[in-house]
Structure 1
Amino acid sequence: MASRDQFQRFIFEHSQVRGVWVQLGESFREIGSQAPYPDSVRSLLGEALVASILMSSTLKFEGTLSIQAQGEGPLRTLMAECSHDRYIRGLARFDEHAVSEDSFHDLLGEGRMAITITPNKGTRYQGVVPREQDTLGGCLEEYFDRSEQIPTSLLLFANEETAAGLMLQRLPGATEEDDDLWNRVNHLARTVEASELLELDSEALLHRLFHEETVRLFDAEPVAFRCSCSRERTLGALEAIGSDECYSILDEQGSIEMDCQFCHAHYRFDRNDIDHLFTGHTLH
């Protein structure tokens, strides 16, 4: 049985070439169960979740990395997020009457894609992802090439039950020998079949692809679905829209009710809650 819901780094010994492997099972199914996603949308959401984990492995601080796309095609919104401790969440919004088994660009149509890096402490960063390649992986490879100047290969696959991916990178300071190694392992990685990435565990996959190289595989880390919503954060969102708007909703509806778009958690706030939010005390 292949490993599921794991993240693993590896390096090619004595070189400036590194890699990351990810495979998702239960976490992907839990996220995919939040809406009746068509197969094409579910698959792209799985690829985006895997990509967010692979890309977050390059971060050196506590925080989150998210991949966000807004399109004018059948898939209106795509969002996948991974935290530094490998908790993931994601969603897709789509026109159920227009979605078919379309390609990446057909699904999104004209639109914008971005990488957002949000450290727990420090400045938020957002970079635009070019939409010039035919796959999500290809677009993200181009992002690394343009924004980070780091040659990167990203292989992403997903089916109904599993999502998986492999990332290779050639780091700065590479020697001529590293260039030769990069060309060799990059070519080998491109031969991988979807079934291999989705079904094999990391050791079996890396041995099948790179058995003539010296690869050091680090300990696996768990990946899990966890939404970061909470009653306190939802109150913070209400505070941001202001007291006038909150009291207007209370006068009209009697309470304020909000659902999390990621996990469908339901939050209800009455007048006492809103009084306490804006004045620090309740009226009775």
Structure 2
Amino acid sequence: MPSSDLMHRFLFDQADLRGEMVTLSDSYEQILENNQGLPPQVQTLLGEFVAAAALLSSTLKFDGILTLQARGDGPLSLIMAECSHHQAVRAIAQVDPEVDFSALAGQDLQALMGQGMLAIIIDPDKGQRYQGIVPLDSPDLSGCLQHYFEQSEQLPTRFWLTSDDKAATGLMLQALPQQTASADDNRDLWETATQLASTVKKEELLELEHSEVLYRLFHEEQVRLFEPAAVRFECSCSWQRSANALISLGREDVEALLAEQDLISIDCQFCNQTYAFGAQDLAKIFGDESRQLH
């Protein structure tokens, strides 16, 4: 797979404009393995969400996780992808098991999710959590993200996303604050670059090396390509995070749960890992090892 599990950053030397391109293969296949049974059109959307989350994570200037999440009242109720500052990705989708998705072939994101919202959540390891929300008012994720950046008054940003059953890939262009070029030059190159990027074909994104795609699109511009960053699947679940979830419930509720069953099990929906907690575990969690929970 060309540029497999890599993300490339590039800059336009003639104006204040940057870009990112990512292709996920092994990491994406692991995500699909953990989300078995999804309809083909939902798999495609999940791949686009993972690619977009990876591209958006390039804007993180600190340690943390960026989450791209959509919720709606349609047959596809939830789709979510995460990427950390060190390019570890995971994702999940939830569908109505009673719906025949074969009858919905060709339906777009907006049709499958119905009335819903798209959220970008930035969760730094240290500092305050940030969340931005926009309606799902476009038929595809690229359009929703474009509207998000327009409404949030951030830097103009465009996305080109695609996936199949083996890979997910995406291209992002983002205008930068004026620094090295005039406002007119920045505007002209932004319009030119986005028009050129809009000519890229799905097959080119999925089958060609990043450098070749960028050369085909922008060979008349001065584009500087940087060393790639490796992308991998990694789930951030852990025994301690599951324990923290129990702590947030409170000791009284946890004791009530344990009274109904021998073990409390917490399943990670992203990687299917199960964490089990018995009486001794819970006593330790709540700082009372001398007492056994019953």
Q: TM-score when scaled to structure 2? A: 0.93
The 8 Å contact of residues 73 and 106 in structure 1, kept in 2 or not, is answered as yes
Residue 162 of structure 1 and its aligned partner are, at CA, apart by: 0.5
Q: How many residues align?
A: 284
1:12 alignment counterpart = 12
Aligned partner of 2:233 in structure 1 is: 225
- Alpha carbons 2:110, 2:137 under 8 Å: kept: no
Q: Which amino acid letter does the alignment assign opposite residue 31 of structure 1?
A: I
What pairs up with 1:201-240 in 2 under 5 angstroms? Answer: 201-240=209-248
Gaps of 5+ in 2: none
Partner of 2:72: 71
Q: Is the 8 A contact 2:116 2:135 kept in 1?
A: no
CA RMSD of aligned residues (A): 1.3
Q: Which deviates more from structure 2 when the two are superposed, residues 188-197 or residues 149-158?
A: 149-158
Question: Is 1:38 aligned to residue 43 of structure 2?
Answer: no
The alpha carbon displacement at 1:163 in A equals: 0.4
Superposition map of 1:245-260 within 5 A: 245-260=253-268
Shift of 1:280: 3.2
State the Cα deviation string for residues 167-226 of structure 1 (Å, max 9, x = none): 011112152122111111111100000110111111111111111111100000000110
**Distance in 1 (alpha carbons) for counterparts of 2:175 and 2:286:** 52
Decide whether the 8 Å contact of 1:272 with 1:282 is kept in 2: no
Amino acid paired to 2:2 = A
Q: 1:262, 1:37 → 2: CA distance?
A: 14
Structure 1 counterpart of 2:95: 94
Corresponding position of 1:154? 159
**Percent of aligned positions that are identical:** 44
Contact kept, 8 Å, 2:118 with 2:144, in 1: the verdict is no
* Counterpart check, 1:169 vs 2:171: no
Shift of 1:251: 1.5
- The list of structure 1 runs, each at least 4 consecutive aligned residues, that deviate by more than 4 angstroms after superposition, is none
Distance of 1:96 and 1:103 partners within structure 2: 18
In structure 1, what is the Cα distance between the partners aligned to 2:277 and 2:157?
A: 47
- CA contact 1:75–1:94 (8 Å) conserved in 2: yes
Structure 1: unaligned runs, 5 residues or longer: none
Q: Residues of 1 paired with 2:72 and 2:135: CA distance?
A: 13
Given that 2:115 and 2:136 are in contact with CA atoms closer than 8 Å, whether structure 1 keeps it comes out as: no
TM-score by structure 1 length? Answer: 0.96
The residue identity in structure 1 corresponding to 2:188 is D
